[in-house]
Amino acid sequence: MLFRTSLATDQHREIVQYFEIIKEMYPDVELDFDAIMKVATAYQELGEYERSYLVFRATIENSFERKNQIAAFLTGQNEFVRSVEVVERCGDFAKRYPESDLLDSFWYLIGYSQFALGEHEAALTMCRKVSETKRKDKRTGTEIEAANKWQAIYIMGQIYHSLGKPSEAIAEYERVKERFSDATEAIDFFTRKDIALPEVTTVKPGDAGEVELSYRNVKEASVKVYRIDLLKFGLMQRNLDKVTAINLAGIRPYHEMKTELGDGNDFKDRTKDLKLPLKEEGAYLVVCRGENLYASGLVLVSPLQLEVQEDSTSGRVRVAVKDSVKDSYLRNVLVKVIGSANDDFNTGETDLRGIFVADAIRGTSTIIARADQDRYAFYRGTQSLGTVAQPQSEREAIPSAPEDMNGNGQQDLLQNLFDTNGEIQGTNRGNYRTLLNNGTKGVKAKAAF
């Protein structure tokens, strides 16, 4: 109240006194534009020119930042006509005061408002005008750039971004990436490289053997296919998360090829169907390399289909195995179930109904089924089952490989997993785990081609 009274009576010293008390003790109090302008004037009248300047500058900047959102706000409130009037008013100001130091700021406000109104081409024209304009500094006579040059360039990048023109957007973002962290993040979003394969793709016998490759900004992919014994592979590894960590150098693939993916400048996610000559029933490990990126996945050529019921409380898993071609459930199918927190597989065969039940499964489930010799089915659960114990630091570590086991020794051990046709053969589980966990050179390298 004392502050308002001082404002009404133009008592400059009291205005400054009560303003500084409010600023220090009540920082959340908001003052209107007229009041804060009188504060700046009061500082000036008292000879506090620097403080007066700071208040004037902060007020003008804050006012401009608020006003440059008016058009977008009005549009959001279904006040389209009024939002257009704001842009037109700025245009009038620019014409009326062509020598004003704020001329390029009016232009910038017009461009921003046009962007908010969806007038992209007009916004680009105006923002480009701001970014390229120069004016003379009235005090020094030297040419200076527009005060909003970099903001205008940043807006141009956003406009191209919104129009789905990544190349143009990147070019503008590059100019301001040192000034706006969002520009750097946008560039990284557009230019990141990636390749991926589905973890498991099931193909019915007789259908085309295809797997969908997802990629981004990669020119070419090298693909190798290995025929594997999925049951033995699953027993030894228990999951497929570390497939690409296996050194496959020296293993003869079942099939290999290269495929062109583009010019490497997609700037968005793309997919391509890889056509693979997988005519025989069985399990195939597909490993794909694009530049220094790797992806892997399983392709199962099989009529088997798993219907799974999981009880999250008890950890019970019911698995029904079905022949999707004959539309019938299968008896005597070997099924192995394990949870991410289990140490061993729960193994058995389906009953006369084609059902196998596994109990005490903890964590997320992995299920592998095999009928005859080459018919497989695979399932990966997503919900956590049973009670998962917390990891213990004193838990016994897996024994490491002997210190004298060199890369050749590791390769010999891995070689035994495959036959001459590229199929994984049986080996003892301990040796395979030793191979995966050994930290010597060659084991943790990406799949070699």
Angle between helix 49-67 and helix 103-116 axes, rounded to 10 deg: 30
C-alpha 251/C-alpha 243 separation (Å) is 14
pLDDT of residue 228: 86
Main-chain phi, psi angles of 278, to 5 degrees: -105, 80
- CA dist 46 to 6, 21, 50, 54, 147, Å? 15, 17, 11, 15, 30
pLDDT digit of tens for each residue in the chain (449 aa)?
Answer: 899 899 899 899 999 999 989 888 888 887 877 788 889 889 988 998 888 888 887 776 666 555 545 555 444 545 544 555 668 777 777 777 777 777 888 888 888 888 888 899 999 999 999 999 888 777 787 888 888 899 999 999 999 999 999 999 999 999 999 988 899 999 999 999 999 999 899 999 988 889 999 999 999 999 999 988 888 777 666 555 555 455 566 778 999 999 999 999 999 999 999 999 998 999 999 999 998 898 988 899 999 999 999 999 999 999 999 999 999 999 999 999 999 999 889 999 999 999 999 999 999 999 999 998 889 999 999 999 987 665 555 444 444 433 333 444 334 434 444 444 444 444 333 443 333 333 333 332 333 22
Given a contact cutoff of 8 angstroms between Cβ atoms, the answer to whether 231 and 334 are in contact is: yes
- HSE-up (13 A, CA, CB side) for residue 409: 12
Query: If DSSP codes are grouped into helix, strand and coil, which group holds residue 146?
Result: coil
C-alpha 376/C-alpha 366 separation (Å) is 13
CATH class of 194-386+405-449: mainly beta
Structure tokens at 334: 């070997």
**Architecture of the 70-191 domain:** Alpha Horseshoe (1.25)
Q: What DSSP string runs through 201-253?
A: EEE-TTS--EEEEEEES--EEEEEEEEE-HHHHHHHHSSSTTGGGS--TTPPP
What are the boundaries of each domain within the chain?
2-67, 70-191, 194-386+405-449
- CA dist 287 to 27, 105, 152, 271, 424, Å? 61, 55, 46, 16, 15
pLDDT of residue 198: 92
C-alpha 155/C-alpha 142 separation (Å) is 27
Given a contact cutoff of 8 angstroms between Cβ atoms, the answer to whether 298 and 240 are in contact is: yes
For residue 225, which amino acid is it?
Answer: V
pLDDT of residue 110: 85
Query: If DSSP codes are grouped into helix, strand and coil, which group holds residue 308?
Result: strand
Q: Which residue has the tokens 């290999």?
A: 256
